[in-house]
Amino acid sequence: MAVSDRRAGGDHVSASGPGRIAAAEWVRTAFHDMAATTIDPRTNVRTGGLDGSIRYELGSLENAGPAFFTTLRFMQDFYTSRSSMADLIALGTYFAVRSCGGPVIPVKGGRVDATVAGPLGNIPMPQNSAFTFENQFARMGFSKAEMIQAVACGHTLGSVHAAEFPQIVPVGSAPPNDEVPMDSTVAAFDNRIVTEYISGNTTNPLVVGPSVQATRHSDFKVFNSDQNATVEAMASPAEFSSACQRILQKMIDTTPSSVTLSAPIQPYFVKPVNMQLTLNERVSTMRLSGLIRVRTTDLAGDSVSSVEVTFKDRNGGNNCGSAGCTFTASLLGATSGFDDTFVWFPIDRTIPTTTGISSFTLTLNMASGTRQTVDNNGNSYLLQDAILIQKPQSCVLSSIGSITVTAAVRNDRNSLPVNMVLSYKEPTGDANLPVPNLRTVTVAMTKGNCVGAYTFYNVQYTIPGDLAYASRIDVVSGSGDSALSDAFNSAGELGGTCQTFQNPSSSLCTTSQISTPPASSSTSMSVSASSSSTSTSVGAGSSSTSSSVGAGPSSTSSSVGAGSSSTSSSVGASSSSTSSSVGAGSSSTSSSVGASSSSLTSSASVTSTSSSVTVSSTTSSSTGAVETLHHRQTIGGYELVGCKKEATAGRALTGASFAYDGMTLETCMGNCSGFYYWGTEYGRECYCGDSLAATSDDAPLAECNMVCSGDDTQYCGAGNRIELYTSTAAQPTPTATLAPKPTVSAYVRVGCYEEIPHGRALTGAAYADDAMTLEMCASMCDAFHYWGAEYGRECYCGNTLDPLSTPASEEDCNMVCAGDRYEYCGGGHRLELYYSNTTNGPSHPPVVGNYSWSGCYSEPAGVRALAGKSYADDDMTLDSCASFCDGFALFGTEYGRECYCSDVLSEGSEEKDAGECRMVCAGNNKQLCGAGDRLSLYGIFDEQT
């Protein structure tokens, strides 16, 4: 039914306007997308349905209002080559209903997006007769009872807006937002829509009020079409929930006959997530990182204490280096969705490049004392180490669309072509088409330096538009049957600057040959459809086998894949908060779907036998003694204190911290130059300080047993264990104090600010330096109004701060500058932000009084964007306007000399590029005060705004 809806339902951040409920908009988007479907009575072939065609239909009066545009604009962030817009719209229905307390709507995968708009004139409109409604729903394949159920279930959330339906809600009749809810619980998925109708006390504007005289009381027409029999049958909460579950699943499963949907998606019991191999700088090792996710929903009170990972070398054997083939991952934490709970175990392991890795299995150590072995249905979790994306040596600058990708290719494959396959989003350039076009390009990579057993290949590409961060990257070695790939890597995980790689001596270059093709030639990892689990109790030989189907646990997105087979069905999914993937595969016995993450891709099938891989190497020899793994008693001017526990609250050393692949004792010592103490932890972390926390107790040296990621002969602490060194010199008296700096040259500190989702808060320029200081960043950005330091070594500049960047807790900016231990340089996704109005002409300050910069907004047609009060002055400044609007939530300046105030932004006012608010304030030539029909908007925001 074409009615407006209000978006919030707990999600006011992405609201399309005051009073709008996200859940209502998402459900209505699914219906409007599906409603153009038709079944040919002669052939029984269905065309149209839930196919994402609504993205091309937003200019139609049937889809009036901002709801559909805003919904699609939100969902397009998760639109990829593996996740169709149609599947995302279906998933949005589950999320919307469940988040408001409704039933579980099973979601299947495999929908295919339309490439053009569907036929217009098929959306039921309020002015239609009951007879027309019945015919329209019959065309969709819905009976009269199903029509009534669909309307009731779709209208239990949200409101009708005057802006879109003034004949139903007259303008000005329903302050403050000119909208009337359809039942008394506007954001709850419950049966009030029918019980209030039956009892006669409904305020539903599609049943009572002005809509009756205007013959637009469509809910009454529908509900009464069978003399209220269906709505009366839905009056109980249980029956309402059951009916809505059935009808909404039918709605999202209505697809063209050419589409085959998967089985309903369910989470895997065990899921490897974001598994990634990265070559370390000393080239003798590579780092295996990622997470193991375990679904605990059905563990009946038991829990998983730790996970043992047992891997095979490149040849499928047990030659895994001095640290062995088995390691243990400790519990990181727990998460929960609407219907499931999960625990997570981080993977961080150094693998010798001489022996490599081909697969792994898992053993779950349960709190009850039992152990469960998980081996991917007997196939193991397959990995390939022939081609790896080097994320530290890759980078992206979305402001100019530049992306640089580096891959490490094993030398036995240097005769094969190496390509980057880039899937990117290109803006349409049409305001009515918010979903960008997906493009794919294949670019040959250029051969670079040999680094031990690998050779680097590089490529640089410029992506049109400003969505480079949303790209997905495959690096591929070979073609056809010989192809191996590290696939579906997110460009959003790349930094703004490509890090240098310390190339080893050319004498260490190793030539290898592979004599037998790998079992899974086009993938980096494969996960079988059914995850076999054998549970062994102490003293008893019992076992159980279970099948599981994968889905991501993210609260804002889900990554799904689909598979079917004659004996079992399975669906795998990544659990990323920023991407989703949908894929399908089938075989006669099982489906396999790889983790759609940085180095894991799906395999079409998995065989139960492994290919034997033989690698022969020719390396330079040395006559020196071979150093073995041991603790170093002295390093430079430091001596080993021992193995220490982390502090009970916080860190043992708080002066500075670093984390990177290629960690060695020597590099940590260099990072901590000038500090009295330093220590390594977890194989790849380094901490510095001039004092040791009093609660850091001694631990047995044997507990510092993790090998350094950059040197497999050294120990670098362990989980919550720090390999501690102290200077042999007398401890110096501190010469300064670590604290935020209020000013740096001409810039004033604004505070600690969040980075924006899927992008950068400052997009003018970006730098990274291992000697980064605040002064260095200020110097690099001296042509810009803003700059900020991040992650200890990164620097970003810009003339405008993205309005989505908001103040964070001061404690979040806790990383010490790499080049000055007495300065803070932000944190992970946190900017130490500075601003100056003396550089590069006038600007928008980030803060004016109690107000924060919110962006440049248009004036809507016929009304003011801010309608509270106003004045004009030839001495206008942002400060004087803020003072005038004291007590209001918003103020804005326009045309250089006008000031407007309000508590709400009028509908129709849209955010524009900050550059369109370019007029200098009449009373301060260092400030910008909007432009013609453009407001420089500032606001005070809290949870209620």
Give tens-digit pLDDT for 561-580. Answer: 323 222 222 223 333 333 33
Residues 312 and 401 in one domain: no
Residues 31 and 149 in one domain: yes
pLDDT value at position 593?
A: 29
Residues 214 and 237 in one domain: yes
For residues 689 and 652, give the distance between their C-alpha atoms in angstroms, rounded to a whole number. 8
Most confident of the ranges 434-448, 516-530, 590-604, 618-632: 434-448
pLDDT value at position 536?
A: 30
Instruction: Pick the last residue of a domain from 253, 279, 296.
Output: 253
- Residue 167 belongs to some domain of the structure: yes
Residues 362 and 462 in one domain: no
**Angle at which helices 22-34 and 67-75 pack, to 10 degrees?**
90
CATH number where 934 lies: 3.50.4
Asked if the model's pLDDT at residue 21 lies above 80, the reply is yes
Q: Give the pLDDT mean for 548-562.
A: 31
191-195: long-range pairs with CB below 8 Å, 24+ = 191/156, 191/234, 191/235, 191/236, 191/237, 191/240, 191/241, 192/156, 193/152, 193/155, 193/156, 194/152, 194/223, 194/231, 194/232, 194/234, 194/235, 194/240, 195/235
- Residue 764 belongs to some domain of the structure: yes
Are the CB atoms for 332 and 372 separated by under 8 Å? no
Are the CB atoms for 734 and 664 separated by under 8 Å? no
Residues 194 and 220 in one domain: yes
Residues 212 and 291 in one domain: no
pLDDT value at position 554?
A: 31
Q: Give the pLDDT mean for 196-215.
A: 94
pLDDT value at position 259?
A: 96
- Residue 534 belongs to some domain of the structure: no
What are φ and ψ of residue 777, in 5° steps?
-65, -40
Asked if the model's pLDDT at residue 589 lies above 80, the reply is no
Confidence of residue 398 (pLDDT cuts 50, 70, 90): confident
pLDDT value at position 719?
A: 83
Locate 36 and state its tokens: 């153009």
For residues 892 and 902, give the distance between their C-alpha atoms in angstroms, rounded to a whole number. 9
Most confident of the ranges 4-18, 162-176, 347-361, 614-628: 347-361
Asked if the model's pLDDT at residue 660 lies above 60, the reply is yes
pTM over 0.85: no
Higher per-residue confidence, 679 vs 791: 679
Locate 117 and state its tokens: 């708009």
Q: What is the pLDDT of residues 723-763, one digit of tens each?
A: 999 988 877 666 677 889 989 988 999 999 998 877 788 98
- Residue 571 belongs to some domain of the structure: no
CATH number where 508 lies: 2.60.40
pLDDT value at position 225?
A: 95
Q: Helix, strand or coil for residue 230? A: helix
Using the structure block, give the residue that is written with the tokens 């022939």. 386
pLDDT value at position 735?
A: 62
Q: What is the pLDDT of residues 175-203, one digit of tens each?
A: 888 899 999 999 999 999 999 999 999 99
Asked if the model's pLDDT at residue 494 lies above 70, the reply is yes
Are the CB atoms for 477 and 465 separated by under 8 Å? no
Confidence of residue 942 (pLDDT cuts 50, 70, 90): low
Q: Give the pLDDT mean for 151-174.
A: 92
- Residue 760 belongs to some domain of the structure: yes
CATH number where 239 lies: 1.10.420.10
Q: Which of 598, 616, 325 is nearest to 453 (CA)?
A: 616
Asked if the model's pLDDT at residue 517 lies above 80, the reply is no
Q: How many domains does the chain have?
A: 6
Asked if the model's pLDDT at residue 839 lies above 80, the reply is no
Higher per-residue confidence, 640 vs 533: 640
Residues 352 and 396 in one domain: no
pLDDT value at position 623?
A: 36
- Residue 2 belongs to some domain of the structure: no
Asked if the model's pLDDT at residue 221 lies above 80, the reply is yes
- Residue 231 belongs to some domain of the structure: yes
pLDDT value at position 847?
A: 87
Are the CB atoms for 294 and 556 separated by under 8 Å? no
Rounded to the nearest 10°, the torsion over CA 506, 508, 513, 519 is -110
Q: Give the pLDDT mean for 279-301.
A: 92
Residues 177 and 77 in one domain: yes
Asked if the model's pLDDT at residue 873 lies above 60, the reply is yes
Q: Give the pLDDT mean for 22-50.
A: 92
Whole domain around residue 706: which residue ranges?
634-727
Asked if the model's pLDDT at residue 7 lies above 50, the reply is no
Confidence of residue 19 (pLDDT cuts 50, 70, 90): low
Work out the burial of residue 553: count CB atoms within 10 Å of its CB; fewer than 13 is exposed, 13-18 middle, 19 or more buried. Answer: buried
Instruction: Pick the last residue of a domain from 218, 253, 288.
Output: 253
- Residue 20 belongs to some domain of the structure: yes
Using the structure block, give the residue that is written with the tokens 């005060």. 929
Asked if the model's pLDDT at residue 535 lies above 60, the reply is no
Locate 358 and state its tokens: 């081909």
Instruction: Pick the last residue of a domain from 835, 869, 893.
Output: 835
Three-state SS annotation for 707-775: EECCEEEEECCECCEEEEEEECCCCCCCCCCCCCCCEECCEEEEEEEECCCCCCCCCCEEEECCCCCHH
Asked if the model's pLDDT at residue 401 lies above 60, the reply is yes
pLDDT value at position 728?
A: 86
Residues 747 and 719 in one domain: no
Asked if the model's pLDDT at residue 160 lies above 90, the reply is yes
Residues 211 and 326 in one domain: no
What distances in angstroms separate CA 688 from CA 663, 681, 789, 808, one per listed residue?
Answer: 14, 11, 20, 25
Q: Give the pLDDT mean for 577-588.
A: 31
Residues 800 and 892 in one domain: no
pLDDT value at position 663?
A: 87
For all residues of the chain together, what is the average pLDDT? 83
Q: What is the pLDDT of residues 603-648, one digit of tens each?
A: 222 222 222 222 233 333 333 346 788 999 999 889 999 999 988 7
Confidence of residue 597 (pLDDT cuts 50, 70, 90): very low
CB atoms under 10 Å from CB of 772, counted, come to 25
For residues 69 and 491, give the distance between their C-alpha atoms in angstroms, rounded to a whole number. 25
Residues 336 and 399 in one domain: no
Confidence of residue 913 (pLDDT cuts 50, 70, 90): confident
